[in-house]
Amino acid sequence: MVKKASTKLILVLLLAAGALLAGCASYQRTIFSPSIKSAQQDFNNQNYESAVAKYQQLALTHPDEKKRQFFIMQKGRALYLMRSYHDSEATFRDYLRNYPDGLYLDESESYLTKIQSLRAEKDRKDLLKREQIEGDIRLLRRVIENDPYNAQAQYQLASKYWDIEQYDEAARHYLRAGEIDAALKESELIKNRLMIDESGAAVPITPERQKLLEQEKNPLVVFDVHSYQQRAKPEVLGASKALSTVTGKVRNQSSRVIRNATVNVNYYNVRHEILDTQVYYIGTMGPKEVRAFLVNGQNFDSIHNVDQFECHTFFQ
């Protein structure tokens, strides 16, 4: 069982939302020596997230420069198709910076033009939406002036304020709606948007506060992951035995002490069947502490069967 949180404001919501569960608190997939064929299969099957990871690794490790350019472009195309326009734009800009006379110069610039057009259209729609919401707010305020005990108007006004990120005003009107109509206190929307602090005051669960909550709920994050192949020492496993080594770091991003932390690394073939699992014991981690890990995958017939690996973290 995970220990109870402290009485800090952000942890009050964690306790209200339920006890934290032990188990896999962090998950990260990293590609290990992927094949071009498997990357292309993922792209063709619209499994773009996996394709992005594989093309990224291929672009870093493939010896042929022309193919590296292709892999970077495929990564950018996949991100674009995922509608991850910010990352797609960064990929194409990196390509133009690294390959100013590259094979895909015109296509990269074409994608950047399309992304900028999409962003301008989104900004226009966002402006129109905000103007509409502000008009709705003015109308609802007039309704409340004439009928201050109109719970639905208070509720709708709160939601409008929330939509334009005026969270304190939203919290005030959500609270007022619940005071007028007790049934609204049980609204899932209000429960998901308000918390009660130590003084009993209603506090909005802003996106920033929600991020902190998620960090407390899933405290361990894996980053700076690298993989490579090496030969084991003859006296240990024999001269011909190859190891697939994974190194990385784990950060406790929460405000509490984490005990019995481990990193489990699963190795998979191209069919996503587990070939091997290696466990690295980290132990106790204080708040914001960073620890390194290293595992050697070895329980498979051939190192070339390994297509990717996944890092999972567990804690008590």
Contact criterion met (CB below 8 Å) for 163 and 133: yes
- Within 8 A by CB and 6+ apart from 188, the residues are none
Sign of CA dihedral 44, 45, 49, 53: negative
Q: Where are the domains of the chain?
A: 25-29+219-315, 32-119
| Across 37-46, 129-138, 185-194, 233-242, least confident range | 233-242
pLDDT for 245-301, tens place per residue? 899 999 999 999 999 999 999 998 888 889 899 999 999 999 999 999 999 988 777
Burial class (CB in 10 A: 0-12, 13-18, 19+), 85: middle
| Across 208-212, 224-228, 242-246, 299-303, least confident range | 299-303
Sheet holding 23-31, edge to edge: 23-31, 308-315, 258-268, 274-285
pLDDT band (50, 70, 90) for residue 179? very high
Q: Which CATH superfamily does the domain covering 25-29+219-315 fall into?
A: Immunoglobulins (2.60.40.10)
The closest of 169, 254, 245, 174 to 214, measured between CA atoms, is 254
Identical fold for domains 25-29+219-315 and 32-119, yes or no, is no
Round the average pLDDT of the chain to a whole number and report it: 84
pLDDT for 59-114, tens place per residue? 988 889 999 999 999 999 999 999 999 999 999 999 999 999 999 999 999 999 99
How far apart are alpha carbons 290 and 8 in whole angstroms? 22
Q: Which CATH superfamily does the domain covering 32-119 fall into?
A: Tetratricopeptide repeat domain (1.25.40.10)
DSSP per position, 10-28: HHHHHHHH-PPPPEEEEEE
Contact criterion met (CB below 8 Å) for 224 and 249: yes
Contact criterion met (CB below 8 Å) for 13 and 205: yes
Contact criterion met (CB below 8 Å) for 4 and 15: yes
Reported pTM: 0.60
